[in-house]
Structure 1
Amino acid sequence: MNKKVRKAIIPAAGLGTRFLPLTKAMPKEMLPVGDKPTIQYIVEEAIDSGIEDIIIVTGKGKRAIEDHFDNNRDLEENLLKQEKLELLEKVRACSKIEIHYIRQKEPKGLGHAVWSARKFIGDEPFAVLLGDDIVQSEKPCLKQLIEQYNKSGSSVIGVQQIPENETDRYGIVEPGIVNGRFVEVINFIEKPKLGTAPSNLAIIGRYVLTPEIFGLLERLEAGAGGEIQLTDAIQKLNKIQKVFAYQFEGKRHDVGDMLGFIRTTMEFALENPEFGEEVEIMMKEMLVEKAKKFVY
């Protein structure tokens, strides 16, 4: 019987250079989408998928993440006195989650960040969730992958189809036998040059991995960008034990760059039941004003 997937790693040690100067003093993971920082969506997905223990791999200047998920008694007492109970519940929800932290001492890439949490994981299968992707789905994205792991006993990587002209931005899978959404993988290729990708199935920030990946990461040489690439280690793992891909159901929001972040913020604002209609009116008014400038 397969060991239960109980633990998750959330890497959050990146410098957020795509968002500078905004992220000079604020962690990228704390940028707001709707009424929550992006990392809270990731943590909530892990919890809703049955994860019991979470470790966030941080770096320098990431203290705000720890503060966000910690208790703030002064704030809670103030909200209670003002009888702002709905806000109080939202604030308390952040601190109910048991989260551990470890610092990645050197910026050596995603693979190294995952390897840094090896002692926390031990000899168990585990999940990895990246903060660049928020997934809206009826069944949490990670839960879909865990169910596939439970059936196969093998590592499972979340994938979705992307435009052909974006394949150089992602890890890409070369598919073998396809059984519905479950895909046999022949090769994992990190950021192939345009025109050389074997498919448009891209790795989208969700993984369920077996602990054998840690030994491979430890011996792995730097790859694309001079960093330890998780995709390269998964390719090596696939040579000794099968690794599968799963085309998960759900809408994926890319918040890893400024344009994707702005689009996601707008979509979430429009979907908000409290002020979505007002936001839509505001957007239409702004488009009208912009059109007037071209007329005159």
Structure 2
Amino acid sequence: MQPLRKAVFPVAGLGTRNLPATKSVPKEMLPVVDRPLIQYAVDEALAAGIEQLIFVTGRGKGSMEDYFDISYELEATMRERGKSLEVLNGTRLAPGDIAYVRQQEPLGLGHAVWCARHLVGDEPFAVLLVDELLWNPANPSISQLAETYREKGGNVISVLEVPEDHTHRYGIIDPGARHGDVTEVRGFVEKPAAGTAPSRLAAIGRYVLQPDVMELLGQGERGAGGEIQLTDALAKLVGQQPFHARTYRGARYDCGDKTGFVQANLALALEREDIGSDVRGFAMELLAKSAGRV
């Protein structure tokens, strides 16, 4: 079993659900408290022992490259003023730790992952969807998947149980035997029609995959929405390789959605030692005023 060293971040999307903010700012750079979304995903990958980060980008995403570069002017000014550079930890990665490749056409998540094929090579790799902020600092989602991968091998995805009337929004697994949080995957259905989902276990944007999926994605078969769907390729690996889902334990915020984005900011702000008390007091005042108007 090869070690898990690489992670792919599909970050070429337009972020239309967050317009107008994302007209000029990549959705991955929208801040949750004081860090952009991309930083949370990168921190999660590094905590799981990932060594190489592969960003699949598109036009207008240059600010992400700048963010993880060294800002000489900023750092020089901070040093001159006697300010600590500790706040920049995590944004200054070693040369070569991040690689970038372009997805020239918006052909779907599967196509974005396929664009990283030459950088992935013949190794297993993780995939992280950045607008899914999975918050569990003690045991991040990719760390949970990496643990299951070391035990089971093959492919492992992160899932959550969603309401029946939400299954049409997700890739849903057809479950087999279950042992604790780990469920055997017998198949996938991408965004099933109402009443047809094989379960309520939905893929939530974290994967550990074998490189064989790249050949399947390269066939360019179109699925739901006329796009190249990652779940369609994964379904073909079921039965050919070990395939498991691990139920995620932790908080989840869909930051591609405006409501989820606001919720993430509030929840993470309340956990902060430096601002949590002030934010909590302000939120209670707002709630009291809102209750008074009902």
- Normalising by the smaller structure, the TM-score range is over 0.9
Query: What are the Cα deviations for residues 124-170 of structure 1, in whole angstroms up to 9, with x where unaligned?
Result: 11111111212222222111211211222211111111122211111
1:190 and 2:185 equivalent? no
Match of 1:3 in 2: 2
Match of 1:96 in 2: 93
1:84 CA drift (Å): 1.9
The 1-side partners of 2:90 and 2:235 are apart by: 38
Match of 1:274 in 2: 274
Match of 1:150 in 2: 150
1:234 CA drift (Å): 0.3
* Matched pairs, number: 291
What secondary structure does 2:22 align onto? Answer: coil
| Alpha-carbon distance change, 291 to 79 in structure 1, aligned in 2, over 3 angstroms | same
What secondary structure does 1:288 align onto? Answer: helix
1:222 CA drift (Å): 1.0
1:242 CA drift (Å): 3.0
1:28 and 2:32 equivalent? no
1:290 and 2:287 equivalent? no
Letter of the 2:207 partner, please give it: Y
Query: What are the Cα deviations for residues 61-112 of structure 1, in whole angstroms up to 9, with x where unaligned?
Result: 1011111111101101111122221xx2122430125211111011101000
Letter of the 1:58 partner, please give it: T
Match of 2:55 in 1: 56
Q: TM-score, normalised by structure 1?
A: 0.95
1:132 and 2:131 equivalent? yes
The 2-side partners of 1:68 and 1:125 are apart by: 27
What secondary structure does 1:78 align onto? Answer: helix
Match of 2:122 in 1: 123
Unaligned runs of 5+ in 1: none
Letter of the 1:106 partner, please give it: E
The 2-side partners of 1:165 and 1:267 are apart by: 25
Match of 2:248 in 1: 248
Query: What are the Cα deviations for residues 33-63 of structure 1, in whole angstroms up to 9, with x where unaligned?
Result: 0110001000011011000001110111101
The 1-side partners of 2:246 and 2:293 are apart by: 48
Aligned-pair RMSD on alpha carbons?
1.3
Letter of the 1:224 partner, please give it: A
The 2-side partners of 1:259 and 1:95 are apart by: 31
Query: What are the Cα deviations for residues 3-43 of structure 1, in whole angstroms up to 9, with x where unaligned?
Result: 11111101100010001111000000000001100010000
1:240 CA drift (Å): 2.3
The 2-side partners of 1:161 and 1:102 are apart by: 33
